[in-house]
């Protein structure tokens, strides 16, 4: 499968700590109305962390998104073909 790059414009070639900081900054800039509640965010991340489609603990192999960013957004879902794991 072709590797995808997250569309949140966070560069994929940063050191891990810098990547986490950029993702945190990205989440901070989101409109609160775009964000799920903390409990839902943690629930989604727990599912991703147990998923064999999570690459390097950061990105989903199906969409290329940083799951820390994707899971925060109300309008996003799990892109696993045939099964939204977050439901
Ligand atoms: S978004 Fe879905 S397919 Fe991707 S890592 Fe998370 S649970 Fe797995």
Ligand 1 pocket check: which of 40, 47, 70 to mutate, most ligand atoms within 8 Å of Cβ? 47
- In order of 25, 31, 32, 33, 83, the CA distances from 58 in angstroms are 16, 22, 23, 24, 20
| Domain locations along the chain | 1-80
Whether 85 lines ligand 1, by a CB cut-off of 6 Å, is yes
Residues in the chain: 87
How far apart are alpha carbons 65 and 71 in whole angstroms? Answer: 9
Whether 80 lines ligand 1, by a CB cut-off of 6 Å, is yes
Q: What is the pTM of this model?
A: 0.88
CA of 4 to the centre of ligand 1 (A): 14
Digitized pLDDT (tens) for each residue of the chain, 87 residues in all: 444 556 777 777 778 888 889 899 999 999 999 999 999 999 999 999 999 999 989 999 999 999 999 999 999 999 999 999 999
């Amino acid at each position: 499968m072709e590797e995808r790059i997250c569309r949140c414009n966070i560069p994929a070639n940063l050191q891990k700590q810098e990547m986490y900081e950029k993702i945190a900054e990205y989440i901070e800039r989101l409109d609160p109305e775009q964000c799920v509640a903390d409990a839902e965010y943690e629930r989604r991340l727990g599912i991703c962390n147990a998923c064999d489609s999570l690459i390097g603990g950061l990105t989903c192999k199906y969409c290329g998104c940083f799951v820390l960013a994707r899971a925060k957004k109300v309008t996003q879902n799990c892109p696993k073909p045939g099964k939204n794991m977050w439901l």
